[in-house]
Amino acid sequence: MSSRIPIVPESTEPLPGLGENTGLLSWVASIDHKQIGIMYLIGTLIYFVIGGLEALMIRTQLAKPGSELLSPEMYNQLFTMHGTTMIFFVVMPFLIGVGVYLVPLMIGARDMAFPRLNALSFWLFAFGGVLLYYSFFTQSGAPDVGWFAYAPLSEKPFSLNNGPTYWALGLLVSGIGSLISGLNNVVTILTMRTPGMTMRRLPLFVWMMLVTSFLLVFVIPIITSAFVMLLLDRLLGATFFTPAFGGSAILWQHFFWGFGHPEVYILVLPAFGIVSEVIPVFSRKPIYGYEFVAGSTVAIGLLSLGVWAHHMFAVGLGNVANAYFSLASMLIAIPTGIKVLNWVSTMWGGRINFAVPMLFATAFIIEFVVGGLSGVAIASVPIDWVVTDSYFIVAHFHYTIFGGSLFAIFAGVYYWFPKFTGRMMSETLGKWHFWLTVVGFNMTFFIQHFLGVMGMPRRTYTYHDMPYWGSMNLISTIGAFIIALSVLVFIWNIIVSLRKGEPAGDNPWKAWTLEWATTSPPPVYNFKLVPPVRGRRPLWDLAHPDSPDEPDAKIVTEGPNG
Amino acid sequence: MEALAGLTYYTIAISVVILGIIVIAVAYIIIRFRKKSGEEGEPYQDFGSLKLEITWTLIPVAIVAVLFLLTCSTMRAVDPPSADREPDIIIIGHQWWWEIVYPESGVITANEVHLPAGRQLLARLESIDVIHDFWVPELGRKIDLVPGHPNYMWIVAGEPGVYLGACAEFCGAQHANMRIRVIAQTEEEFSEWLTRQARIPETPSTGIAAEGAKIFQEIACMNCHTIAGTPAAARVGPSLTYLATRDTIGAGVLTNTPDNIAKWLKNPAKYKPGSLMPNMKLTDEQVNAIVAYLEALDE
């Protein structure tokens, strides 16, 4: 294979790996995609706990009207850091990390195309977060301008402290890591596939990682240039975003959302990929309409590049621009709807095993549909004019990012934990985790739709003059503590299962993609022998030689497109 | 507003139907297609159906088309072109209060928008510092106040009454306490209010209020605030000409009583931490004199 694809560098010495040396150095110095993937997962779990604690403090402050637990400055730092952390240091790196671990296995490769760049991506992510969080220990405190840091509030005249500088620098560093990771994934998926693994046989998770990676390559440069301009403004006295000196406040928003909306799909497409792997395996059926699930992903990826100004309907861009962005945003509902219906049809007629991964995947469908429908509603400009910047929006994006991405992430963790560690996670604790999450999540966020419609603006540390919002906020806060409890159960499950979980074997779920054809955890070199690929479900074909998916397919031994 | 209500109900109806279909389908699947004990082997391997895929692509296309047309017509109804008309009101966002200007009469006030009920006015919205957003939920749409980019919005309140609103775009430390009150009055009450606000008050010449007037001019108050008919003409902070006629102080942090004004003057940061109004370290006598002066302006 290496002779056919010279673009891929071959290591001349053995890669440091999970082998005999399992000391700290073997991790820090590792360029093995599985170790790097695991480090991503551990890193995101740490940031998840930190971001969750920030959310708990926010909800505690809001539990009653006129609470004086937190100062406004501290409250503003907390919601800024909560949003920034959950998006840039939890959901996004988790999905990149799980991709780094699984993509080479799923396409039958030995590692990523550029293993050293892979390590660089991880360390840029990790240290970008450290740089951001270091701000808490400085005199000025953490950034306090919101996760989209609208100019000119984020400019020097209105934010004299160094918070926004740390924010831009930390995200600049981790963003370069994401960009490199995107490139690495694109090259890996396009060039490292095992013989027989054509694009039409690619596992859907890999398809979605491919589209996500293209998005990363396209949009990270947009936000990186915006960060550089903001830093020039703040540190060297440039005026890109300061209207008082000829700059434009709206320009920042175009840059930010030009990145920021595709980012939403970067957060959710790999999650779609996870669900598209889990649902067929637990329904014991192939994915319904493979071409449409894969094709709709490409459609979403392309459309997502042209919808950014639906975050800016209240800015006053004019109704022609508003109408265009409204239509483009509504169109995304079509490929997304196709996906949902294909997942449901995959389950239809199946013999479904509702183990924990499938529970989360099933709940994901419902929660995500709620978030998707409120998304269509706010794509309609006049409705957006009423509810934007209110708690309705907070409810909406938590239904997509928590109810969507995070539910899928939990499904993925329970599904692949046996592969990562060689042990099963506890089903009992998993079910506790699942039900607490479902109850806590809906209790916290569904009611926020109504708070928004009633007039509660987001990002307000107090509502002392609106006491009748108190009871609804209290319900939301109780829900947040139930989520916290569910996370404790989840972490406890990980710890217990790592020590005493039942041995998993190679393929505990009787799944069909290539990562299940090797040992759990896989050896450094991944596969002794990659099984022949002559259909979308190589392990199904092996198990059912009399009824393979593609009866006429020939076994090929050379080239991915043979 | 009627067009907006129609669009909203239509959207909610579609959403409920779609969510209902998905929930019922999933619930049915959970009951019907759960693996039963004793079931062995694999179910029928179904790879998809082109007909179904085309159907559930075309139906959403139709829904989106209808929704988009409704969106466009509602957008026009809610936000008709203003045809180069001069604005009736100018609303200027400040960190963290609202300056309200009636250009025709020259009246400048703060944090309370008085309107004649039932009459549609054109508002121009500007910002002096960062981006704010004017939102009074009962009056419909919200709109950003963007520095260097004036926006226009039609504003109408059907019935006389007080409509509460707030800044909806995060604008810094006291974003939460940037409340706005829209006070809709009958035409007579409104024109009475406007005439009264346009009058130049007399500076009190005797008693403690006269003392207050002197203090106001001597210490730094006039660097930021306006009082019509005096050298104090700065617009950094709210105009105080007829402060006594307003319902609240500090853009909604306290109800407007002489006691509360005194408390506020002693230590603004206690009630609005982060507020740009400094603590002037006034003595009780100075505070009482200034309060008496501000109250006397309305007599």
Reported as a single tens digit per residue, the pLDDT across B39-84 is 888 999 999 999 999 999 999 999 999 999 999 999 988 888 877 8
Contacts of B132 in chain A (CB under 8 A): none
B95: pLDDT strictly greater than 90: yes
Whether omega for the bond prior to residue A523 falls within 30 degrees of 0, making it cis, is no
Residue type, A257: W
- Give the closest of A385, A465, A544 to B179, CB-based: A465
The alpha-carbon gap from B117 to the nearest alpha carbon of chain A, in Å, equals: 21
pLDDT band at A559 (very low <50, low <70, confident <90, very high): low
Closest partner CB to A316 (pick from B53, B146, B165): B146
Mean pLDDT for chain A overall: 93
Rounded to 5°, the CA angle A251-A449-A314 comes to 25
Please report which confidence band the pLDDT of residue B38 belongs to, taking 50, 70 and 90 as the band edges: confident
> Which residues of chain A are within 8 Å of residue B130 when distances are taken between CB atoms?
150, 152-153, 158, 249
Do the two domains B89-186 and B207-296 of this chain adopt the same fold? yes
Exposure string of B95-109, with b = 16+ CB inside 10 Å and e = fewer, is bbbbbbbbeeeebbb
pLDDT by residue (tens digit) across A314-366?
Answer: 999 999 999 999 999 999 999 999 999 999 999 999 999 999 999 999 999 99
Q: Which residues of B are less than 8 Å from A326 in CB distance?
A: 68, 71-72
Which residues 6+ apart lie within 8 Å of A58 measured at CB?
A: A75, A78, A79, A82
Domain B89-186 matching CATH 2.170.270.10: the answer reads no
Non-local (6+) Cβ contacts of A247 within 8 A are A151, A152, A233, A239, A240, A241
Query: pLDDT at position A24, please?
Result: 77
CB-CB contact of A286 with A536 (8 Å): yes
Closest Cβ opposite residue B68 in set A326, A351, A383: A326
Tell me the per-residue pLDDT of B205-249, one tens digit each, with 9 for 90 and over: 889 999 999 999 998 899 999 999 999 999 999 999 999 999 999
How much is the pLDDT for A247? 93
Instruction: Supply the pLDDT for residue B78.
Output: 86
Residue A13 clears pLDDT 60, i.e. is over it: no
pLDDT per residue as tens digits for the range B189-205 = 999 999 999 999 999 98
Residue B62: closest CA among chain A residues belongs to which residue?
A334
In chain A, helix, strand, coil percent, each to 5?
70, 0, 30
**Has residue A168 got a pLDDT over 70?**
yes
User: How high is the pLDDT of residue B80?
Assistant: 84
Query: Residue B220: what pLDDT?
Result: 86
CB contact under 8 A, A351 and B174: no
pLDDT at A29: 84
What is the token pair recorded at A504?
A: 């998993």
Q: Which amino acid is at A410?
A: F
A555, with CB counted inside 10 A (0-12, 13-18, 19+), is: exposed
CB contact under 8 A, A462 and B166: no
Residues of B in contact with A152 (CB under 8 A): 129-131, 147
* Mutate which: A62, A147, A148, A153, vs B, most B CBs within 10 A: A153
Domains observed in chain A = 34-543 (1.20.210.10)
Facing residue for A350 by CB, picked from B33, B47, B130: B33
* Minimum CA–CA partner of A451 in chain B: B137
Instruction: Give A475→chain B minimum CA distance, Å.
Output: 21
Task: Write the pLDDT tens digit of every residue in A419-467.
Answer: 999 999 999 999 999 999 999 999 999 999 999 999 999 999 999 999 9
pLDDT digits (tens, 9 = 90+) for A179-202: 999 999 999 999 999 999 999 999
Query: Mutate which of B146, B178, B255, B256 to test chain A, going by most A C-beta atoms within 10 A?
Result: B146
- pLDDT range class, residue A28, cuts 50, 70, 90: confident
Taking CA–CA distances from A377, the nearest residue in chain B reads B11
Q: Nearest CA of chain A to the CA of B257: how many Å?
A: 16
The neighbouring-strand residues paired with B34 are A352
Alpha-carbon separation of residue A298 from A34, A131, A293, A476 (angstroms): 27, 35, 9, 36
Tokens in use for B111?
Answer: 């944090």
Average pLDDT score over residue span B2-27: 93
Report DSSP letters for chain B, one per residue.
Answer: -HHHHHHHHHHHHHHHHHHHHHHHHHHHHHHHSBPPTT--S--------HHHHHHHHHHHHHHHHHHHHHHHHHHHHHS---TTPPPSEEEEEETTEEEEEETTTTEEEESEEEEETT--EEEEEEESSS-EEEE-GGG---EEEBTTB-EEEEE--SSSEEEEEEE-S--STTGGG-EEEEEEE-HHHHHHHHHHHHSPPPPP-SHHHHHHHHHHHHSTHHHH-B-TTSS-B--SS---TTGGGSSEETTTTEE--HHHHHHHHH-HHHHSTT-SS------HHHHHHHHHHHHHTT-
Q: Say if residue A3's pLDDT is above 50.
A: no
What is the interface pTM, i.e. ipTM, of the complex? 0.95
Average pLDDT, integer, range A239-254: 94
Q: What is the pLDDT of residue A560?
A: 55
- Scanning the structure block, which residue is given the tokens 């730094």? B220
Output A103 or A9, whichever has higher pLDDT. Answer: A103
Tokens 């820090």 belong to which residue?
A28
Q: For residue B7, what pLDDT is reported?
A: 92
What would the mean pLDDT of A292-304 be, rounded to a whole number?
Answer: 97
Which phi-psi region, left, alpha or beta, contains residue B203 (left: φ > 0; alpha: ψ -120 to 50)? beta
Cβ contact, residue pair B60, A344, below 8 Å: no
Q: Residue A22 has what pLDDT?
A: 62
CA angle, B3 then B8 then B13, to 5°: 130
- Closest Cα in chain A, distance from residue B104 (Å): 25
Domain boundaries, chain B: 89-186, 207-296
CB neighbour class for A6 (10 Å; exposed up to 12, middle 13-18, buried from 19): exposed
Contact B10, A377 (CB under 8 A): no
Structural class in CATH, domain B207-296? mainly beta
Q: Is B46 close to A374, i.e. CB distance below 8 A?
A: no
Q: How close B87 gets to chain A, by Cα (Å)?
A: 16
